[in-house]
Amino acid sequence: MEAVLAIAIGILTGSGVYLLLRPRTFQVIMGLTLISYAVNLFIFSMGRVKIDSEPVLIPGLTATLANTADPMPQALVLTAIVIGFAMTALFLVVLLASRGLSGTDHVDGEEKKEEAAE
């Protein structure tokens, strides 16, 4: 299970960095989104992936991390998902406004000479 999470985090991070280096703003936004997903998985995995663990306290059972799941990483990831969704929506609005003002969706605001000739 840990290997699957590590591979998923690596693939999401690699794909996000690749998209961040692309010249179009939509690809940059998708890259930031993938990196935020990778960070969320990383934070979630730091809470120890434990199967068949109680999420809440049970009377008569001592409350240690060996007996229960750690709720802090889960709360952090849930908060990060909500904030990430709002930031992605804001970035998309800024992208549309920038494209409307400049007429292009390139990060530097200019199209390459080859693309402009076509």
Q: 3-state SS string over 34-93?
A: HHHHHHHHHHHHHCCCCCCCECCCCCCCCCCCCCECCHHHHHHHHHHHHHHHHHHHHHHH
More confident residue, 13 or 114: 13
Condensed to tens digits (0 to 9), the pLDDT of residues 55-70 reads 667 777 777 767 677 7
How many CB atoms lie under 10 A from the CB of residue 53?
A: 13
3 state SS of 16 = helix
* Among 40-44, 52-56, 79-83, the range of highest mean pLDDT: 79-83
Quote the distance between the C-alpha of residue 15 and its chain's center.
Answer: 11
Q: What six digits make up the tokens of 3?
A: 């290997």
**Stronger pLDDT, 57 or 103, i.e. the higher one:** 103
Share of the chain above pLDDT 90, in %: 42
pLDDT band at 99 (very low <50, low <70, confident <90, very high): confident
| DSSP summary character for residue 103 | S
SS3 107: coil
pTM of the model: 0.75
| Identity of residue 5 | L
Tens of pLDDT along 75-96? 889 999 999 999 999 999 998 9
